[in-house]
Structure 1
């Protein structure tokens, strides 16, 4: 009977990875800004999660792993100066199923690169992952007011950068200024 349960866990985990790992990778990439590093972080998180899958799978596995990825990216940022690594500027090939263009991805990542780690994390959690301000505050262990003010500052930085990019571009990439 125990062997059967192990097989069920394997099947459940494999199905989860097949259906949700891409979104976790995109989440990690938006947080850290580097696709290959994001893949490495998600892979490490999934390896650790597999060992606890029987406890994770019945609650909210995506939420649990998303928070784990966020924490792993935070750890990666904290230890970056120890590694002496420098990410490359060239974005690797984008899979065919991506729904954004390579230029849009580069523009978004460049705007996110202007933010501090905290600003970037809050923007990704709020707008990419569609969490409430309260959820973001709880996830990061900060107040809702800090989430609001940090998000406001980060979005202002991104708007300025994107407006400058649009003005310097021969075509506006379909971005229209809102009043």
Structure 2
């Protein structure tokens, strides 16, 4: 890799680091792991930087690497790691309802299948179009639509208020 390519990569990392770590956090649910994921994706991207530049879409490439790596880590972790502490999933009471709702949403997002989680993160948190999301994930736009629909339906079901019970009529109480 030429010195010019190295400089371009360094500038790319400086511009995109915050956004990549945010996306990684939404995919992993843990700050330390998100930084590891972003760094790992950037390392894999650096190896192919000259080819990535020819495609004129380094942001898409890095995000695709992040999604694939996160899914791979999740599969491996499921088999090898047994979490001893539930500190990431335990919700702490907070005075602000908005913060609490955000924590609940992130926890619900983490319970979705990895591919559905990736679609929702890219579409709604990163605000990518369906076509861009499909490009990042290497799938069809229809697949993105169906995954998003199923994922949103699961989140809505989890956050919908319980059905109201019918009020007891006075005549029934008296009888």
Tell me the TM-score normalised to structure 1 length.
Answer: 0.69
**CA pair 13-135 structure 1, distance change in 2 beyond 3 A:** closer
Distance 1:15 1:153 in 2: 38
Say whether 1:154 aligns with 2:156.
no
How many aligned positions are there? 152
Asked if 2 retains the 8 angstrom alpha-carbon contact of 1:114 and 1:157, the reply is no
2:43 to 21, 24, 47: 47
* Structure with the greater alpha carbon radius of gyration: 2
1:143 is displaced (CA, Å) by: 4.2
Number of the residue aligned with 1:23: 19
Q: Where in structure 1 do 4 or more consecutive aligned residues deviate above 6 Å?
A: none
Mapping of 1:130-169 within 5 angstroms? 130-164=127-161
The range that moved more, 136-145 or 49-58, is: 136-145
1:153 is displaced (CA, Å) by: 2.1
**CA pair 11-112 structure 1, distance change in 2 beyond 3 A:** same
Give per-residue Cα distances to partners, 1:155-176, cap 9 Å, x unaligned: 1222233345xxxxxxxxxxxx
Distance 1:149 1:51 in 2: 33
Number of the residue aligned with 2:112: 115
Tell me the TM-score normalised to structure 2 length.
Answer: 0.71
**CA pair 38-48 structure 1, distance change in 2 beyond 3 A:** same
Asked if 1 retains the 8 angstrom alpha-carbon contact of 2:64 and 2:137, the reply is no
Number of the residue aligned with 1:72: 69
Distance 1:85 1:39 in 2: 21
Number of the residue aligned with 1:129: 126
Unaligned ranges ≥5, structure 1: 92-100, 165-179
**CA pair 11-134 structure 1, distance change in 2 beyond 3 A:** closer
Asked if 2 retains the 8 angstrom alpha-carbon contact of 1:34 and 1:87, the reply is no
Unaligned ranges ≥5, structure 2: 89-97, 162-175
1:123 partner SS: helix
Number of the residue aligned with 2:170: none
Mapping of 1:78-97 within 5 angstroms? 78-86=75-83, 89-90=86-87
Distance 1:54 1:68 in 2: 16
1:85 is displaced (CA, Å) by: 4.4
